[in-house]
Amino acid sequence: MKSNKWLSYGKLRLSYGVNGNRDIRDGNGTVDPNRALAVITSDKYPTVTPGGTATANSALYISRMANADLRWERTTSLNAGIDFALFNSRLNGSIDVYSKKTTNLLVQRTLPQVSGFANVISNIGQVNNKGFEFNLTSKNIVSNNFNWSSSFNFFLNRNKIVHLYGAADVTNADGTVSRVENSDKANGWFIGKDIDVVWDYKVLGVWQTNEKDEAAKYGAVPGDFKLQKLVNSGPNQYKYTDDDKQFIGYESPRFTWSLRNDFNIYKNFDFGFLLLSNWGQLRQYNQAINNQGGVSISRTSSYVQPYWTPNNPINDYARLNSGSSGTTVNVWRKASFIRLNTVSLGYNFPKSWLTPLKIQSAKLYANVSNAAVYAPHWDFWDPQNDGPTPRYISVGVNVVF
């Protein structure tokens, strides 16, 4: 292929491997090697003698369950890719596709209350991941006084739960028995679904004043969120149960991408910016319930936001204090965003200015981190971090003597 005029470089890749993981993380995502062990906690309990004397006694009890059957996670991965350079290396890039099978995934499994424990670290059966990644670097303009280059990355991943804790026999309508894999509703894990799927009630809007009588059937009042009811008959006709929950989205992004552009003007000025994006994910937006935290009686909030009133009959925010006295619900909103992550500007001083000063190079620069965020459906703090993210501005000089 050396005689062609468009392909400067090409390489096909195929890889296969198996690796293990024994890291167990706590509720904050920090690796904690002790999470697999039981925890003994001390406490006090009272006793009263026949004479009426109360005594405080010390006791020890196990507050966290151990799991002696824990095993390492095991991931088997198959990857195929191509590296390429086109048009005398003006375009460089790579394309990768992969398939991964993870067995004995380490998770925090919810337990029934009768067990005496809230959860336990456990292994679940099998989760499959498939994904695609594309990278492209381009020299858009190359000249003596102006250069422009770009780098683009696109990535997506899809996963599916194949096995959890085992299977159960289910009798079909025709009398035959089928072996069906067990899902885990408590953790929101379902066979055949994404491990980050959102299974919850679908919010249709807010009950309005002219719907007062209908809202009362569900234990709500105008200003509370209205949920979609899937089961409209039987003893739970006006009660929301798991049968009314549905798959409404995913907590993980459907795809991510980044784009960086770098410019050099007259060999002295440098300018660049980086865009980052996560798209298609949902986040809980329970601030819309307007059940604010604060001192004693919920009089303060950390963020200015609207709320429903009879004179302000909006359909996307509840009345004040709805979460404590109204419908109990999780509100989910799209948290897709495009972030202008960094912007940089620099000036390289000419060599002719620096040589008499015994300076090899000098550059004046200004950088901005987290310059701006565009999130069309999210109106609360930062859509990625679920909190305030600072913007950093730095100005400086780099000098090499």
Instruction: Report pLDDT digits (tens) over 326-337.
Output: 667 899 999 999
Burial status of residue 144 (CB atoms within 10 A of its CB: 0-12, 13-18, 19 or more): exposed
Average pLDDT over residues 66-72: 88
Q: Structure tokens of 276?
A: 């980052």
Any idea how long the chain is?
401
For the four alpha carbons of 236, 241, 243 and 246, in that order, the dihedral sign comes to positive
**CB-based contact 289:279 (threshold 8 Å):** no
Domain definitions of the chain by residue range: 253-401
Supply the pLDDT for residue 287: 86
Query: How many CB atoms are located within 10 Å of the residue 219 CB?
Result: 13
Burial status of residue 356 (CB atoms within 10 A of its CB: 0-12, 13-18, 19 or more): exposed
H or E element, residue 212: helix 212-216
CA distance 312 to 223: 10
Question: What share of the chain has pLDDT > 90, as a percent?
Answer: 57
User: At CA 161, angle to CA 280 and CA 131, rounded to 5?
Assistant: 50
Question: Is residue 40 predicted with pLDDT exceeding 70?
Answer: yes
Contacts of 179 (CB under 8 A, 6+ apart): 167, 168, 169, 170
Contacts of 337 (CB under 8 A, 6+ apart): 277, 278, 279, 373, 374, 375, 378, 383, 384
| pLDDT tens track for 203-224 | 999 999 999 999 999 989 999 9
Better pLDDT: 290 or 256: 256
**Dihedral angle of Cα 282, 287, 290, 291, to the nearest 10 degrees:** 110
Q: How many CA atoms lie within 13 A of 39 on its CB side?
A: 13
Supply the pLDDT for residue 295: 45
The mean of the pLDDT values for the chain is 89
Question: Is residue 322 predicted with pLDDT exceeding 60?
Answer: yes
Contacts of 252 (CB under 8 A, 6+ apart): 157, 194, 196, 281
Q: Structure tokens of 272?
A: 């660049």
